[in-house]
Copies of this chain bind each other. A is one copy, B any other.
Amino acid sequence: MTISDGPLVFVDDLDRPVLSDEDHHHLARVRRIRDGQPLVLGDGRGRWRPARMAGSSPEPTADSSAVERPTPELTVAFALVKGHKPELVVQKLTELGMDRIVAFEAARSVVRWSADKATTNRDRWQRVAREAAMQSRRLWVPTVEPISSFVEVASRPGACRAQVGGGRLELGQLVMVGPEGGWDSAELDVDIPDVSLGDGVLRAETAAIAVGTLLSALRFGLIEAGSG
């Protein structure tokens, strides 16, 4: 993916682009982009278009192009944890190029949310993903799925548990990262593979970021699954 110069900003319509108030503020005030300077407009689904800054209505300077979604699709699922860590996880997984991010309730998840709260949080994480994609110049914004259950995620193709002593991570796996307190016995009884993240005990958010790093590096060809 080689896109033209200038900050990437997502808009609803590449033909009649309008910046959101927040994006305009960020570009004009924080990054100090002046009218006339280059921007890259994106739709968050692979399509982009060169433009120049012009108040909150950027002017396109060339036709739009499209970039295919990278394959295979990369998904990370993480058990809900307390505090602001889900935002950190969503931000980092987006930077690392995940296509799909799933939060699920594990037996030892610290939080239990009402349907309203779950929807509010998911919407906020989707905004975090959108901002992180702009920051990391990714033309595809990952999908943050509705909050799910252990059983539902474990039943998907390729599902496996991150667990000390497990096997090697491979492309095509949907790795589930457990909560701080680990999996409970019912979760360990579910017949899906375990994959290892190494010799240490990682915090939940670190484990999720590590999975994203390894999947991204495998897909990019930087590394290969170990054979030893």
Contact residues of A with B, CB < 8 Å? 1, 70, 92, 95-97, 135-138, 168-169, 196-203, 206, 209-210, 213-214, 216-218, 220-228
**Pair A198/B226 contact, Cβ less than 8 Å:** no
Contact partners of A214 in chain B: CB under 8 A: 213-214, 217, 222-223
Contact partners of A206 in chain B: CB under 8 A: 92, 95-96, 209
Give the complex CA separation of A210 and B220 in angstroms: 14
Give the complex CA separation of A200 and B225 in angstroms: 21
Nearest 3 Cβ contacts at the A-B interface: A213-B213, A223-B223, A210-B213
Give the complex CA separation of A209 and B228 in angstroms: 25
Known: A223-B214, A227-B224. A199 touches B1 (CB 8 A): yes
Q: In the complex, which of the residues A202, A206, A209 has the most CB atoms of chain B within 10 Å of its own CB atom?
A: A206
Known: A218-B223, A223-B226, A226-B224. A201 touches B136 (CB 8 A): yes
Contact partners of A217 in chain B: CB under 8 A: 197-198, 210, 214, 223
Known: A96-B198, A200-B137, A213-B210. A223 touches B224 (CB 8 A): yes
**Pair A216/B198 contact, Cβ less than 8 Å:** yes
**Pair A138/B200 contact, Cβ less than 8 Å:** yes
Contact partners of A218 in chain B: CB under 8 A: 223
Contact partners of A225 in chain B: CB under 8 A: 222-224
Shortest Cβ distance from residue A130 to the other chain B in the assembled complex, whole angstroms: 15
Shortest Cβ distance from residue A175 to the other chain B in the assembled complex, whole angstroms: 12
Known: A137-B201, A203-B135. A221 touches B226 (CB 8 A): yes
**Pair A96/B221 contact, Cβ less than 8 Å:** no
Give the complex CA separation of A196 and B222 in angstroms: 8
Shortest Cβ distance from residue A4 to the other chain B in the assembled complex, whole angstroms: 15
Contact partners of A95 in chain B: CB under 8 A: 200-203, 206
Q: In the complex, which of the residues A169, A214, A227, A228 has the most CB atoms of chain B within 10 Å of its own CB atom?
A: A214
Shortest Cβ distance from residue A208 to the other chain B in the assembled complex, whole angstroms: 11
Give the complex CA separation of A205 and B223 in angstroms: 21
